[in-house]
Amino acid sequence: MSDLLSASVLAAFITAIIVQTMPLIMAAIGETIGEQSGVLNLGIEGVMLVGAYSGYVAALASGSAWVGMLGGIAGGVVANLLMLVLNTWLGLNQIVIGLAITIMGEGLTSVLYLQNYSKHPQSVPQDAWPIPGLSDVPVVGPSIFRQSGIFWVLILVMIVVAFMLARTNWGLSIRAAGQKPSSLDAAGGSVMRTRTQAVLLNGAFVGLGGAFLSVITTGTFTAFMTGGLGFVAIVITMLSRGKVHWIVITSLIYGIAVAIKNPLQLVGVTVPADVFQMLPFVVVMLTLIIFARSSVVPPALGTSYTRGAR
């Protein structure tokens, strides 16, 4: 038992929670921006994989995890262009296009990786920014305060996004596009422009989440590595109803569920790996059942908008 509570185990546990949770938070933030504006992106799994792959490639090519993050953003935005043009601009079915993006994203990244890297799998260099003083505090020091600098930047980004959604005109427009798009247009805004911005940001954040997953969490790329994480992000989005702090809290629950595997093994509790893989989804299902009444979804979610449609 004392093994479990040792500083190094706890530190590893906390680190595991952080790196498992971050990709999810990023993806959920991206999906939130999209869904608040009325766009449900079922392609999130594919976009995340594309971001993971492009992030991986960028990090390897440049030797820097930061460039990897940028690569992930670029990849995510490009992957989401399909949704942008076909759904937001032309009004085609969101669900079908989303599924197409997921299927193609899975296929393309798998094929590309196997073609280019499977002969010589490489790991991405890690880079940590220890915070002076704080990083020596037991347990918390080696885990929270010795993370990559990217971690801190992303925390800042989370705060900025929360602020933008709640307290700016832009955030108001995004929410109007999802609640009642005709109101936004009638008020002189543009649903087209607003949703375009939202879809681009959706791609950027989801791609960023994917890049974090490959570059930082695992340090490498594997085909289909997201394993349903994108869909977990969609559930988190629906439960959080547009509030970033709820995204963080629910994502942490997921992160803990995944990270708890190692500490449990140390204690001698051998649970098959499959249970751990299933656990987040079981948790998600239970949450959906318990909160069945209250998962409130923007009324215009999934619908396309044409100004002045007859």
Partner 1 sequence: MSSTVAAPGVISLREITKAFPGVVANDRISLDIVSGQVHCLLGENGAGKSTLISILAGIQQPDSGAIEVDGTPTPINSPKAAVDLGIGVVHQHSTLVPSFTVLENLMLGETGLMLGEKRARERLEELADLLGARIDPQALAGDLGLGQQQQVEIAKAMWKGSRLLILDEPTSMLTPQAIEKLAESVAQIKAQGLAVVFITHKLREAYQMGDCVTILRGGRNVGHIGVDQLATFTEAQAQSAILAAMFGEDISTAGAAELAGATEARREVDDLELGTKPIRLELHGVSTRGHGHDVDIQDVSLSVHEGEILGVAGIDGHGQSALAEVIAGQRPAAFGTIRFDGQAITRLGVRGRQQLGLRYVTDDRLHEGTVGGMSVAMNLVLKRIGQAPFWRFGQINRKAVNVEADRLIQEYEIKTPSSATRAGTLSGGNIQKVLLARELTHGARLVVVNKPTYGLDLKTVQHVREILTGFAAEGGSVLLLSTDLDELVELSHRIAVISGGEIVGIVPNDGRGTAERVGQLMTGAIEGTR
Partner 2 sequence: MIEETPRWRRVVDALVRSILPVVLALVVAGLIMLAMGSNPIDFYAGVWKYGLTGNNWQDSLRLMAPLMIIALGLIVAFRGQLWNLGYNGTYLLGSVVAAGFGPVLYPVMPGWIVTAILIVGAILIGAIWSILPAVLKARFGTNEIITSLVMSFIAIGVVNLLIKGPMHDPNPKVTAPQTATIPKADLLPVLDSTRVHIGVVIAIVLALVAQFVLSRTSFGVRLDVFGSSPKAAQHVGISRSWMIVLLFCMSGALIALAGSIDVLGNVTYQRANWNPAYGDAVMPFVFLARLSPLAAIPLVAFYSVFANGGINAARSVGLNSDFLLVVVGLILVFMTITEFVGAKRRLGQSYLPPGMRQTVLGLVQRRGTARRAKA
According to CB under 8 A, which residues from 157 to 176 bind partner 1?
Answer: 167-170, 172-173, 175-176
Rounded Cα–Cα distance for residues 200 and 34 (Å): 9
Rounded Cα–Cα distance for residues 12 and 282 (Å): 25
Q: Which does 231 bind (CB under 5 to 8 A by kind): partner 2, partner 1, none?
A: partner 2
Verify binding: residue 186, partner 2, rule CB under 8 A: no
Rounded Cα–Cα distance for residues 302 and 176 (Å): 14
Q: Is 187 left (phi over 0), alpha (psi -120 to 50) or beta?
A: alpha
* Least Å from the CB of residue 96 to partner 2: 6
Please choose, from the candidates 210, 192, 205, the residue with its C-alpha nearest in 3D space to the C-alpha of residue 164. Answer: 205
* Least Å from the CB of residue 290 to partner 2: 11
Verify binding: residue 190, partner 1, rule CB under 8 A: yes
- Of 120, 133, 273, 310, the residue at the interface with partner 1 (CB under 8 A) is 310
Residue 187 has phi, psi (to 5 degrees) of -85, 0
Give CB contacts under 8 A, 24+ apart, made by 126-133.
126/65, 126/216, 126/219, 127/64, 127/65
Rounded Cα–Cα distance for residues 15 and 58 (Å): 24
* Least Å from the CB of residue 90 to partner 2: 6
Verify binding: residue 290, partner 2, rule CB under 8 A: no
Rounded Cα–Cα distance for residues 47 and 80 (Å): 7
- Of 133, 188, 268, 272, the residue at the interface with partner 1 (CB under 8 A) is 188
Rounded Cα–Cα distance for residues 2 and 158 (Å): 36
Verify binding: residue 107, partner 1, rule CB under 8 A: no
Verify binding: residue 306, partner 2, rule CB under 8 A: yes
Verify binding: residue 213, partner 2, rule CB under 8 A: no
| Residues at the interface with partner 1 (CB under 8 A) | 167-170, 172-173, 175-176, 179-180, 182-190, 307-308, 310
List of residues contacting partner 2 (CB under 8 A): 42, 82, 86, 89-93, 95-97, 99-108, 110-112, 114-115, 192, 223, 228, 231, 234-235, 238, 272, 274-275, 277-278, 281-282, 284-285, 288-289, 292-293, 295, 297, 306-308
